[in-house]
Amino acid sequence: MDTRTAPGYGDQTTWAPCTGHPMDPRTPDDDFEQDVRASIEEARASLLMIEEMLDDPRGYSRQAVESLMHEAAGWLATE
């Protein structure tokens, strides 16, 4: 093997196999379900605030309601 083409210290071929260490970038990220639940909870909180604004006898800011609706739609990717 020629020293010009031999793998060096940073080459992937010299790495040990992935053992699942959290700091190893090759370790798969299995937080999908947790991320989905967090997004749903954030959207639910925004929708609850919108509902409270609409029920407020003092009135509400249309701009604030539209902003919250836009934010909730973004979390759910339904824009």
Is 33 within a domain? no
Is 69 within a domain? yes
Q: Which residues form the domain of 70?
A: 39-79
State how many domains the chain has.
1
Is 56 within a domain? yes
Write out the chain's pLDDT in tens, 79 residues: 577 777 777 777 788 888 888 888 888 777 888 888 888 888 888 888 888 888 888 877 888 888 877 877 776 665 4
Tokens of 22: 């959290």
- pLDDT the model gives residue 1: 59
Report the distance separating Cα 50 and Cα 41, nearest Å.
14
Is 76 within a domain? yes
